Amino acid sequence: MEAVKKNGLANLLFLTFLMAGCTGASEEGNISYGLDLKTVSSERAFKGNIHRTGLHPDSGKKPAGVLLWKFETGSWLDYFDGGSGVYSSPVSYGAKVFFGSADGYFYALDKKDGSLAWRFETKARMLNIGKWVVSSPTIAGGLVFFGAGDGNLYGLDLETGAIKFRFHTKSEVLSSPVVKDGVIYFGNLSGVMYAVDLVTVAERWRFQAADGIFSSPAIGNGKIFFGGRDDKIYALDISSGELKWSFTTDKDVDGAPAFANGVVYIGSGDGRLLALDASSGELKWSFQAYHGIYSSPTVYNGVVFFGSWDARVYALDAGTGEKRWELNTGKRIDSSPAIADSVLYIGSGDKKLYAIDPTTGVTLWTYETKSEVRSFPLVDDGTIFFGSEDSFLYAIK
């Protein structure tokens, strides 16, 4: 889900907490249809893989920035400023692309023409407030999993959209899940990181942080890494949930970490991009931007890329933190960078999607939407799929 706690959506979260005493999260029972999911892991996920490195497979096709199609979703409450949009980052599988919207629906579209294959109405739409689906999906075992504002973690059949799995928590699930060896991991706004068995729908373990979890967990070296609104970065044993280490920053940590070569890269609201030793949590280096970092970093060819609220896209040496280049877009950046076929793609608050040369930082082209672009771009066989706060999902060739 990264970067959705801004402006109108921040107001929404505040009002949601105020109303929690009256409505609460939707009370739902857990569901499992006894599917054989003991050994499955994420085949598609937010930021490309379970390590959240931001890389997409090369296809030899480089998009030129031309609109192929766009699909309009709804908005949940018009009287909130900025309260509509597609914040969820899409994933693809077969002939379909999957994503959630702030209108409370989860969608499956045909990749070629954007026609609706199916949509699923979450229970969040039945509440007075908080209808959003901003959690980005993951695909495993023939199901697509995502979290919703009703406190549920859903698993739907890829072909039909029929509900096959549901796990209910007591608070909104904005974190994007990841699956490893038949267990799904995700956080919620009550500050709980869950590990749930996909077959039995039983908790393997849970870890309680001191504040809400927006961050989407990354997996590596037998650990699960994530940030918290309590200003901390956590590393837990993936099997037991035991705390292995934590690192304290000076502000909230809402973006997802990236795990690469034994290092955890993650940004903080205090404006620092941190490189931490994955085994010990020891700080290897840090880089200070001019404003908070809610973009999730991407690691490619020894370089770390990310955006900041200071409106810049940065490229740093992954080993030293030395700046290679920066690009000023003029508006804050919540989107996270994606790389495919040696091109970097990232959205900005200036309403544009950027295609950038990752070596030089030179802009190759831009595509402008009608509102801020916070979604992480998906690149699939020469087509870029991304969401905008204008409520559209775009496909760009």
Distances 338 to 161, 319, 344, 371 between C-alpha atoms, Å: 27, 20, 6, 20
Structure tokens at 86: 């597609």
Range of the domain at 54: 7-396
Number of domains the chain is built from? 1
Contacts of residue 239, defined as CB under 8 A and 6 or more positions apart, other chains included, come to 222
Q: 225: exposed, middle or buried (C-beta count within 10 Å: 0-12, 13-18, 19+)?
A: buried
Statement: residue 229 has pLDDT above 80 = yes
Structure tokens at 388: 């905008």
Q: In what order do the strands lie in the sheet with 96-100?
A: 91-93, 96-100, 105-110, 116-121
Asked, for residue 1, whether it belongs to a domain, the answer is no
Tokens 């999730």 correspond to 296
Higher pLDDT, 22 or 306: 306
Asked, for residue 335, whether it belongs to a domain, the answer is yes
127 confidence band (pLDDT: 50, 70, 90): low
CATH number for the domain that contains residue 161:
2.130.10.10
Residue 28 is predicted with a pLDDT of: 59
Structure tokens at 88: 């969820």
Statement: residue 26 has pLDDT above 80 = no
Asked, for residue 182, whether it belongs to a domain, the answer is yes
Contacts of residue 172, defined as CB under 8 A and 6 or more positions apart, other chains included, come to 13, 16, 25, 130, 147, 148, 149, 150, 151, 188, 189
What's the pTM? 0.92
Residue 16 is predicted with a pLDDT of: 39
Residue 31 is predicted with a pLDDT of: 77
Structure tokens at 264: 């955890």
